[in-house]
Chains A and B, each alone.
Chain A
């Protein structure tokens, strides 16, 4: 017990130290953020604007009207933002393998995955969270979301689960780099898939894709199924016992543990790219 407490304390202190270094590193050139600061809000606000144009000119998408679409879009975007703050290093595993930075992690007497993630807390990712929060709150307002204590707890659990599902996906993809040494383009592929899968209602896609995104790569649970429950919509076929929203954290944790297992297997066949 004593040993565990001191080990946790040690990990927390290391994480704090990493975070301090990361902030200092990112604030060294503050103007460098300028282009991101412009680009990210433009991208996401225009995304929701185009959904509004489509709904205005046509009709609600499979029964999802603009307020509900905004709610869904915002929910997906916030979990993306949180993911980007804490887990962005999972995108760069291949880089670390190639330039040998990964060897350094293996030499230290600490959990490798913890070091990988903690060594770069990406505060710039908060820029992604800001449009996410604005769009989500706007959606809540329009769709009449009730801010009861129970709903807030559920919402937090959903966000946590959503971040875990995203992390699990990118950890598994990153693990491929242990064998192939490169996977940067897989990351952009997965990002496109996640964006389109979480920001539009899953029910607009054919059944094959819905089944795929529910059971095989469960990104439907990041935002679609929780939104279905919060807004009282039809899920397009899927029936699960208990509350749909509460499945998100459960699935998130299972996926995350699975991805840890995959990561450990991958590390066994890791060979230093060496130089």
Chain B
């Protein structure tokens, strides 16, 4: 059974590795975003400001570098895959498969993530280290906690993406709602500006939303702003969100499956 999924993952890994020029440009794009953000922080800290909210420039530089690196690694193609497959009517062939639809797409995205690890994460970290010094974690423990927290983050992001994909089954004529979700996630996950700097009211609301647990939680653990005990608690919340989103997806999928419309089939 697992063999089937591994096959999908492997195929995606190999095809992603084949498109070298695309990867080259994608690394370049992310590098520009990284440089621009770091220089923005440098300007913000310019002229003698040492610490704001207990964070110094080095913390935010590390935060930014890691945030952009993670975003290049967290491949959540499921929303686009479903959207295009429904539009083109190809979704029907995926229904024929003897394994669950969403598990297929997860295996595919995991393959994308593995290839990104090799051809995007490594060059990005290399360039970032050349420009701004190696982005060290604040301690060995924070690095150890960072990795499982990243995996949980990916779980949340992927489930959100899958839920948006589910929407496409119902209202495909509204266009790809994934781009709307992505623009909300970018802001409220703290991937560009950490939520610690946001107004109090926004921070309070954000605690009850899944977004800040996708980027801010692992990154905060990495730079040591989130202590060990809080980190474990935060990972607990991440797990709760995964469970909740998973139940939502399973329930939604059950109702959706029966009323799928095959375009041009």
What residues of chain A have their CB less than 8 Å away from a CB belonging to chain B? Answer: 29, 31-36, 38-39, 42-43, 46, 49-50, 53-55, 57-59, 61-62, 182, 185-186, 188-189, 192-193, 196, 200, 204-206, 209
Contacts and interface: CB of A to CB of B under 8 A. Distances in A.
Interface string B169-189: 000011111011011101100
A202 to B, nearest CB: 10
B42 interface: yes
B198 A185 contact: no
Interface stretch (B24-32, B210-218, B231-239): B24-32
A15 B39 CA distance: 44
Contacts of B29: 185, 188-189, 192
Contacts of A46: 183, 186-187
Interface string B197-218: 1110000000000000000000
A205 B26 CA distance: 22
A65 to B, nearest CB: 12
21 contacts: A32-B173, A32-B174, A34-B174, A35-B174, A35-B180, A38-B180, A42-B187, A50-B187, A50-B193, A54-B40, A57-B44, A57-B197, A62-B46, A185-B24, A185-B25, A188-B25, A189-B28, A189-B29, A196-B36, A200-B36, A204-B39
B44 A58 contact: yes
A42 B173 contact: no
Given A33-B175, A35-B179, 20 more contacts: A34-B174, A35-B175, A35-B177, A35-B180, A36-B179, A50-B192, A53-B193, A53-B198, A54-B193, A57-B52, A59-B46, A59-B47, A61-B40, A188-B29, A189-B25, A192-B29, A196-B32, A196-B35, A200-B40, A206-B39
Contacts of A33: 175
Contacts of B28: 189
Interface string B241-252: 000000000000
B32 A39 contact: no
B94 interface: no
B177 A59 contact: no
B49 A43 contact: no
What are the 4 A-B residue pairs with the smallest beta carbon separation, nearest first? Answer: A185-B25, A35-B175, A196-B36, A58-B44
A228 B52 CA distance: 29
Contacts of A196: 32-33, 35-36
Contacts of B197: 53-54, 57
A185 B21 contact: yes
A245 to B, nearest CB: 23
Interface in B90-107: none
Contacts of B140: none
A55 B40 CA distance: 11
Contacts of B1: none
A206 B43 CA distance: 11
Nearest to B196: A57
B60 to A, nearest CB: 10
Contacts of B136: none
Contact of B183 (A42, A185, A200): A42
A62 B44 CA distance: 8
B53 interface: yes
A189 B186 CA distance: 18
A216 B218 CA distance: 39
Nearest to A190: B29
A31 B44 contact: no
B45 A58 contact: yes
B145 to A, nearest CB: 27
A182 B184 CA distance: 31
A39 B179 contact: yes
A38 B174 CA distance: 11
Contacts of A29: 173
B88 interface: no
B189 to A, nearest CB: 12
Contacts of B175: 31-36
A11 B186 CA distance: 44
B230 interface: no
Contacts of B47: 59
Contacts of A42: 180, 183-184, 187
Contacts of B198: 53
A33 B179 CA distance: 12
